[in-house]
Amino acid sequence: MSIRQKVKVRGGAVVAVAAALTLTLAGCGGGDDKPKEPQKSAPAQGQGSTPQKSASGEGKSPAPTEVIASVKGLAGLVMDINEVARDQDGYLTVSGQIKNTGTKTFAQMATWRGDEKNASPGSVAGATLVDSVGKKRYYVLRDTEGRCACTIGLTMINAGESVPFFAQFPAPPTTTTEVVFGLPTFDTATLKISG
């Protein structure tokens, strides 16, 4: 086969692949006039996104969420923990709400991020879990760039406002059914693990 024939064959293959991609992308297009609901998924390790809706009031869930523990913090802050769930991938996620029951805006989140060199700003990366039976402390998971698998971007909580949070940890052994959760400036809470 000459070089000229190879170029023609390869050129035809490139055209065929480009046509297939164009048809595939066209098939993925809109045409649906209904607004789509955002998908809820577990956060990927280190993405630092929160799996819950924003606290601005537009994403409130219709049914109240069960509070399994409630602890006090500085300046009228209250942390309600709604879930402590173990998943099949070996992670344990703690999630809930931090409410400002005080009369002033709270903006001292720096203590919540922990002492790590690559601490994520405005995060709850300083949270810990303690397995009292196994005598082991667990820290929030991080990706290879040091970003936490937790809520980030917290700048302030206005009086009367609640903000959702989550923090993901390595899961303790399946024989561990209770852990002690702590976040700097808040009391600790003993929590039962689900899942």
**48-96 per-position pLDDT tens digit:** 443 433 343 444 444 458 999 999 999 999 999 999 999 988 999 999 9
Sheet of 77-86: strands edge to edge?
69-72, 77-86, 91-100, 162-170
Let me know if residue 118 belongs to a domain. yes
CATH number at residue 140: 2.60.40.10
Question: Which domain range does residue 73 map to?
Answer: 69-192
What are the pLDDT digits (tens) for 115-124? 766 666 789 9
Number of domains in the chain: 1
Q: Which residues are registered as beta bridge partners of 139?
A: 128
Let me know if residue 75 belongs to a domain. yes
Residue with the bigger pLDDT between 28 and 172: it is 172
List of residues 6+ apart from 109 with CB closer than 8 A: 122, 123, 154, 155, 156
pTM, rounded to two decimals:
0.66
SS3 63: coil
